[in-house]
């Protein structure tokens, strides 16, 4: 059974993308190299990571961190699992600031873990990206985008292109100098030339979108 490496050669990715896409390559040269993510080398627990992803959804980082801290204190653990989440009832989660929808999502996550439905890190190392997506998106509160972020930033998969992400679509629009953002289907087709390093292309597209947003922002000028 093949194993999928965590992380990839960013220099090889740079050379491939510059060769296959001159427009993107010009932007990459302007921005400079993006270093490998240190999280690619760090072990992590997928169940705990998914629970935290649920808690952080639609909240500022500070607000979410406060709620996470309250839940950790209530369960007496800094790891979220079916056994530790079982230490608190729904009312207790709500008193920590967890919404009703997120409470139900955490319960579904814990139930699926107890049934052995969520692959651990070792098992994920043998699974193609689409198999991981298929295994995790049935969890309440977990969408494809959340799984794609795990694939890119935690598992270090080299060929992930989140076509529904607005930042990546905006970056592609800037690269191609189009009037409107590409549709997810158009972006999927546009990104074929970036394979097998679509993750690295995505990292640049986010930065390109950010630079375009900053360039378009109004500047304050002092009045004489």
pLDDT higher than threshold 90 for residue 189? yes
Residue 208 burial by Cβ neighbours in a 10 Å radius (0-12, 13-18, 19+): buried
- pLDDT number for residue 212: 81
Q: What is the mean pLDDT of residues 24-50?
A: 96
Q: What is the mean pLDDT of residues 30-52?
A: 96
In order of 174, 175, 205, 216, the CA distances from 182 in angstroms are 10, 11, 13, 19
Residue 47 burial by Cβ neighbours in a 10 Å radius (0-12, 13-18, 19+): buried
pLDDT higher than threshold 90 for residue 146? yes
pLDDT higher than threshold 90 for residue 152? yes
pLDDT higher than threshold 80 for residue 218? no
User: Please, which residues have CB within 8 angstroms of residue 62's CB and are 6 or more apart in sequence?
Assistant: none
- pLDDT number for residue 217: 61
- pLDDT number for residue 98: 96
Q: Express each pLDDT in 69-120 by its tens digit.
A: 999 999 999 999 999 999 999 999 999 999 999 999 999 999 999 999 999 9
Torsion of CA 174, 180, 186, 188, to 10 degrees: 40
Question: Which residue matches tokens 């905006």?
Answer: 170
Mean pLDDT for the chain overall: 94
Q: Is the pTM of this model over 0.85?
A: yes
CA atoms within 13 A on the CB side of 174: 23
With pLDDT > 70 as the criterion, what percentage of the chain qualifies?
A: 96
């Amino acid at each position: 059974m093949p194993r999928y490496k965590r992380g990839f050669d960013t220099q090889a990715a740079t050379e491939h993308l510059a060769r296959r896409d001159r427009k993107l390559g010009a932007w990459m040269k302007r921005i400079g190299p993006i270093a490998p993510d240190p999280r690619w080398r760090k072990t992590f627990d997928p169940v705990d990571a998914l629970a935290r992803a649920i808690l952080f959804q639609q909240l500022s980082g500070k607000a979410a961190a406060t709620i996470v801290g309250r839940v950790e204190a209530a369960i007496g653990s800094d790891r979220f699992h079916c056994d530790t989440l079982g230490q608190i009832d729904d009312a207790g989660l709500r008193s920590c600031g967890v919404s009703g929808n997120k409470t139900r999502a955490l319960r579904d996550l814990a139930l699926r873990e107890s049934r052995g439905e969520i692959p651990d890190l070792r098992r994920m190392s043998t699974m193609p990206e689409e198999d991981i997506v298929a295994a995790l998106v049935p969890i309440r509160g977990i969408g494809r985008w959340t799984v794609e972020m795990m694939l890119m930033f935690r598992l270090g998969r080299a060929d992930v292109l989140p076509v529904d992400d607005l930042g990546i679509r905006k970056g592609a629009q800037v690269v191609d100098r189009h009037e409107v953002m590409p549709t997810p289907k158009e972006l999927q087709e546009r990104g074929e030339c970036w394979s097998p390093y679509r993750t690295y292309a995505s990292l640049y597209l986010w930065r390109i979108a950010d630079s375009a947003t900053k360039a378009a922002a109004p500047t304050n000028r002092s009045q004489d």
